[in-house]
Amino acid sequence: MIDKNIEMAMLYDVYGKLLTEKQQDIFKEYYLYNLSLREIAENRNISYQGVRDSIKTSENMLRSFEEKINMLKLLVKVKKAYNLCDEKDLNLKREELKNLLKVEDDM
């Protein structure tokens, strides 16, 4: 299982622009700059609960986007396929590459 902070950072990289500007800012302060909820609330002059709600809403939205679109899953597959292409004997990896790139099974 992937660490939640890494998962959220990856999802943000793919879908972050779909959040509001305020959600993006709070999300980045929490996940990327490692500020506490209290620090964010004090810096923005908003309630602790408001910061917490914004982060939870953003997390849920990012996960929902991935469930519907599967872009992160596709990017991971493409990265694996790209790495296979670096193998010395690509013919040996051809079947693995075909299986990896099967899209119809995942959608």
Q: Encode pLDDT of 7-45 as tens digits.
A: 999 999 999 999 999 999 999 999 999 999 999 999 999
- Residue pLDDT, tens place only, 61-71: 999 999 999 99
Q: Percent of the chain having pLDDT more than 70?
A: 84
Per-residue confidence at 82, pLDDT binned at 50, 70, 90?
A: confident
Task: Select from 52, 50, 46, 59 the least CA-distant residue to 5.
Answer: 59
Residue 41 CA to residue 43 CA, distance in Å, equals 6
H/E element holding 73?
helix 71-84
Residue 11 CA to residue 9 CA, distance in Å, equals 5
Asked if pLDDT for residue 104 goes beyond 60, the answer is no
Encoded tokens for 76: 């991971």
**What's the pTM value of the predicted model, to 2 decimals?**
0.75
